[in-house]
C-alpha cells in the first residue's frame, strides 16, 4: 500500500493491496486527502486488496467523498478495481460522492489499468514502472 505523486504528470497514485489493513488505509487516505490533491488521481485496488466490514467500508467511502470538496476544478479521479466485489463498492462510492460533493471534476470506475490511464491521459509505461517501483519499496 502506498501513496505516490508524479508531479510532472499531475498524478497521484493511491495503491491498495493485501498488506492494507483498514486502520492503515484510513490513515493513508486521511493524510492524502488532508493535503492538496493532484489534478489527476488513480486509486488502485489490486485483486488482493482486502474486503472490510460494511461499517468500515462506509466510513472509508464517506471519508474519500467528503475530501472531494478539496479537489481542484477540472480534475479527474480514476477508481480501478481488479476484483468484481470491490468494483461494486466503487459504484456505491460514486453515488455517495454525488450526494455529498458539489464537484467540478470527474470520477470514473475502471476494471483495467490501461483503460484508467488512457482516460487520465498519462503515459502508461511510465506509470506502470512507477507502480512497480513503489510496490517493491513499500513497507
> Position of cell 461494486?
88
CB 15 within 8 A of CB 131: yes
127 pLDDT above the threshold of 90:
yes
Task: Give the model confidence (pLDDT) of 16-27 as tens digits.
Answer: 888 777 788 888
Instruction: For residue range 52-77, list pLDDT tens digits in order.
Output: 776 777 777 677 766 666 676 788 88
pLDDT category, 125, cuts 50, 70, 90?
Answer: very high
Residue 123 scores a pLDDT above 90: yes
Domain ranges of the chain: 2-137
Interatomic CA distance for residues 122 and 10, integer angstroms:
9
Amino acid at each position: 500500500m502506498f501513496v505516490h505523486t508524479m508531479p510532472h504528470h499531475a498524478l497521484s497514485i493511491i495503491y491498495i493491496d493485501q498488506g492494507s489493513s483498514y486502520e492503515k488505509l484510513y490513515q493513508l487516505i486521511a493524510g492524502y486527502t488532508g493535503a492538496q490533491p493532484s489534478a489527476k488521481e488513480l486509486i488502485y485496488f489490486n485483486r488482493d486488496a482486502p474486503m472490510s466490514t460494511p461499517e468500515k467500508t462506509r466510513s472509508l467511502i464517506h471519508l474519500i467523498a467528503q475530501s472531494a470538496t478539496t479537489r481542484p476544478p477540472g480534475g479527474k479521479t480514476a477508481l480501478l478495481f481488479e476484483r468484481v466485489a470491490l468494483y461494486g463498492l466503487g459504484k456505491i462510492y460514486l453515488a455517495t460522492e454525488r450526494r455529498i460533493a458539489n464537484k467540478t471534476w470527474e470520477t470514473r470506475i475502471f476494471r483495467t489499468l490501461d483503460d484508467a490511464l488512457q482516460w487520465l491521459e498519462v503515459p502508461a509505461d511510465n506509470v506502470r514502472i512507477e507502480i512497480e517501483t513503489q510496490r517493491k519499496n513499500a513497507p
